[in-house]
Amino acid sequence: MSDLERFSKLVGGIYDASLDPALWPDVFMEACKFIGASAATLASHHMVARGTTVFYNWGITPGYEKIYLERCGKINPFFPTAIFFDLETVHAPVPECVPRNEFCHSRFAKEWVAPQGFVDTLMSNLEKSAISCAGFWVFRRFNEGFADDEMRRRFALLVPHVRRALAIGQVINLAKIEAAALADSLDTLPAGMFLVDASGRIVHANKSGHVMVAEADVLRATGGRLAAIDLTANQALLDSFASAADGDAAVGRKGLAVPLKTREGERYVANVLPLTSGARRNAGIFYRAAATVFVHRAAFDLPSPPEAIVNEFKLTPRELGVLFAIVEVGGIPEVAEVLGISAETVKTHLGRLFEKTRTSRQADLVKLVAAFSNPLLR
């Protein structure tokens, strides 16, 4: 099988998983084969409470997901720095979040990374909010060596599709949709949903979709064909319908997501899901449609507490890491052990934190972080 065929099949599997989440572990297995990795996970991290939710993974050593959730997630030195990374950009947390020599001496590396034989990782943020970020992570073990340019390239090819599929899955909010029950299930969605053919002709729309077309503020139906009010966006929307009809191989790196605007400039996004293969084929055949289009208001990324604190006090990434470690684990010796640095280095960073934040006690730093985590106290 050629790389193009493997990529097309993998993209198809990713979008099938948007309808059936039980497919994600198998998708991650195939993704690791394509990328050149030995494990993958999709997880979100709460920047304030330091809590973690693991949604799907593959290749993690049995028992270590539990260890991460119960203990190691809270001492992961990649956070809170990772929340600064833009969506869909590829990053190597070592050394971008923490220098490799410091990371190797951290408790996280000793208790979670090294026992599983991991030597390197790549990640990309798929979603961010004011207090959390959700990322797609892939790992390499010692026998595979460090991440190289080819691994980064292949990972970058998949990231937009994983993000798009997850967004579609969240819109649907169902474990699986059977074709016979599709209309009744999707009529309850707040997002507009349209089934269209390759020319954009609407063959079915849910109630929210009918309302959008009737209001003609972001979408319209001219001659029974779905169109955007904005002319530039309309051409992109038509092109996405044609691409969807050509199957998963034509989706491309960026996926089928079209930014839309209302007449007043309010932002929406249209996610186009091809219905040409796998678990999606039945819906396409049932309605003789080439694609499903989900249209919803675009969410704006709000500044996170770490971002707000950095902007306010001009902290360096290392100072930010020490600040949140002080909040999470407490005293200087404990912070030094967790971060893999000396107590003297922690004291140096702490002195700079006191100076920049105009505080004098560790308790004051804890209160500062708590205040930035609560919008009412800002």
**Model pTM?**
0.64
Rg of the chain over Cα atoms, rounded to whole angstroms, equals: 23
Residues of the chain falling short of pLDDT 50: 173-181, 284, 286, 301-302, 374-378
What gap in Å lies between CA 369 and CA 39, rounded to an integer?
34
Domain extents in the chain: 3-172, 181-297, 305-377
Helical packing angle, 332-339 and 317-329, nearest 10°: 120
Confidence (pLDDT) at 179: 42
Question: Closest Cα partner for 22 from 171, 175, 161?
Answer: 175
Output the pLDDT for position 176: 41
Among 23, 40, 22, smallest CA distance to 31 is for 40
d(CA 9, CA 29): 13
> Looking at the domain that runs over 3-172, which CATH code has it been given?
3.30.450.80
pLDDT for position 323: 85
Let me know if 181 is exposed, middle or buried by CB neighbors in 10 A (0-12, 13-18, 19+): exposed
Q: Is 181-297 the same fold as 3-172? A: yes
> Pairing state of beta strands 118-128 and 219-222?
unpaired
**What is the full DSSP assignment across 56-94?**
EEESPPTTHHHHHHHTGGGG-TTTTGGGGSPBT--B-HH
- Count of alpha carbons within 13 Å of 378, Cβ hemisphere only? 11
Query: The tokens of 213 are what?
Result: 């077309």
- What is each CA distance from 29 to 39, 63, 138, 155, 249, in whole angstroms? 8, 18, 11, 13, 20
Specify whether domain 305-377 bears CATH 1.10.10.10: yes
Give me the pLDDT at residue 127, please.
84
Residue 303, pLDDT score:
52
For residue 41, give the nearest of 132, 114, 110, 123 by alpha carbon. Answer: 123
Task: Name, in order, each residue with C-beta under 8 angstroms of 263's C-beta and a sequence gap of 6 or more.
Answer: 217, 229
Return d(Cα 215, Cα 206) in angstroms, integer: 14
Helix locations, 97-191, DSSP H: 100-104, 107-108, 149-172, 182-186
Which CATH architecture group holds 181-297? 2-Layer Sandwich (3.30)
